[in-house]
């Protein structure tokens, strides 16, 4: 029952996100048309940024997207990120259909095959994904102890170090769709991990007789995680808007989906120790590698004409 609620929340979240991102792309396309007469690229980009925040359509898209993220957070409290994250394929399919209907983007035969490959890869991931919910601990004290482990701290530090290098390249060197995808994917993984921690802390506090205020460092941990989640969302949104401005939705969204799945699922499975044995983890990683290869092959097909 708990897993079913998590799956339902994830499907609703994906539908809202796909719709919201399509509405954002629609608003950006209209803004691009409105400022095409600008002579200088910097002036054009500045005018686009100013127009977005005053556009009701763009704000509606943002609102729906982050309403979907709220439901994603609820889903992560009920099921493993290895189950919740792949279900975001629904957002790819929703946006793929909507952009064809409302934005006039077309899907070639190779792109349709690409979407089919992505769906097949996601199905393979779901078959072998761990079904458990909270694996950090059964009390706030146990969760805080898990967060201070060497593996968790090392993993988080590595992600932030890689992000620093990627952002430097995006800001001061050539910006490509793959670079923007990597940045958005890693920040998305940070949001997933942070949401999982916050959800686990709140759920264990609600089901135990010990409130969070009685647990040392629990409130500061929630505050730090909250800042990390909000900061990651803001920075991810900045680079996602850059990608939506520069590239077609039907090209960016599937690649972002593949990258986000890889980063979020691997970080969740490893950091939250969702497999009880190394053999189970090894088997999952082998199947996951095959599934991601299929998803990437589909993404490559989508990049074609």
Query: Tokens 């890869």 identify what position?
Result: 121
Helix intervals (H) in 89-149? 89-102, 109-128, 140-147
Domains in the chain: boundaries: 1-303
Residue 133 has pLDDT above 70, yes or no: no
- The encoded tokens of residue 83 equal 């189950």
Q: How far apart are CA 82 and CA 261, in angstroms?
A: 8
Q: What confidence score (pLDDT) does residue 39 get? A: 47
Helix or strand or coil: residue 234?
helix
Higher pLDDT, 234 or 244: 234
- Residue 50 is predicted with a pLDDT of 54
Q: What residues contact 270, with CB distance under 8 A and at least 6 apart?
A: 151, 155, 281
Stated pTM of the model? 0.71
CA angle 81, 239, 103 (to 5 degrees): 90
Quick check: 41 pLDDT over 60? no
How much is the mean pLDDT over the chain?
79
Give the pLDDT score at 244.
78
- pLDDT recorded at residue 107: 74
User: Which has the higher per-residue pLDDT, 201 or 302?
Assistant: 201
* Cα–Cα distance measured from residue 302 to residue 294, given in angstroms and rounded to the nearest whole number: 12
Q: How far apart are CA 259 and CA 12, in angstroms?
A: 21
Residue 188, pLDDT score? 86
The CA distances from residue 29 to 21, 58, 187, 276, in Å, are 12, 10, 25, 48
Long-range contacts: 116-120, Cβ < 8 Å, 24+? 116/298, 117/294, 117/295, 117/297, 117/298, 117/301, 118/89, 118/92, 118/254, 118/257, 118/258, 118/294, 118/295, 118/298, 118/299, 119/89, 119/93, 120/294, 120/298
């Amino acid at each position: 029952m708990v897993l079913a609620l998590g799956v339902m929340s994830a499907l609703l979240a994906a539908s809202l996100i796909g719709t919201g991102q399509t509405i954002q792309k629609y608003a950006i396309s209209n803004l691009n048309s409105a400022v095409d007469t600008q002579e200088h690229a910097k002036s054009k980009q500045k005018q686009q940024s100013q127009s977005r925040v005053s556009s009701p359509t763009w704000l509606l898209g943002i609102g729906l997207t982050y309403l979907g993220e709220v439901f994603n957070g609820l889903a992560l409290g009920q099921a493993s990120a290895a189950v919740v994250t792949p279900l975001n394929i629904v957002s790819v399919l929703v946006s793929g259909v909507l952009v064809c209907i409302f934005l006039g983007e077309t899907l070639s035969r190779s792109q349709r095959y690409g979407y089919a490959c992505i769906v097949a890869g996601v199905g393979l991931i779901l078959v072998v994904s761990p079904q458990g919910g909270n694996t950090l601990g059964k009390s706030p004290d146990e969760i805080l102890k898990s967060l201070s482990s060497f593996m968790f701290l090392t993993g988080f530090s590595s992600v932030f170090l890689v992000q620093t290098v990627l952002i430097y390249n995006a800001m001061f060197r050539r910006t490509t769709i793959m670079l923007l995808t990597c940045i958005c994917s890693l920040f998305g993984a940070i949001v997933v991990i942070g949401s999982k921690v916050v959800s686990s802390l709140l759920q264990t506090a609600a089901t135990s007789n010990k409130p969070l205020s009685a647990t040392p460092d629990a409130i500061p941990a929630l505050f730090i995680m909250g800042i990390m989640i909000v900061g990651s969302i803001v920075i991810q949104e900045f680079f996602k808007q850059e990608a939506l401005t520069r590239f077609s939705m039907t090209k960016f969204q599937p690649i972002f989906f593949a990258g986000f799945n890889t980063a979020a699922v691997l970080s969740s499975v490893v950091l939250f120790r969702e497999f009880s044995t190394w053999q189970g983890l090894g088997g999952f990683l082998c199947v996951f590698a095959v599934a991601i290869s299929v998803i990437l092959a589909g993404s490559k097909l989508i990049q074609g004409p």
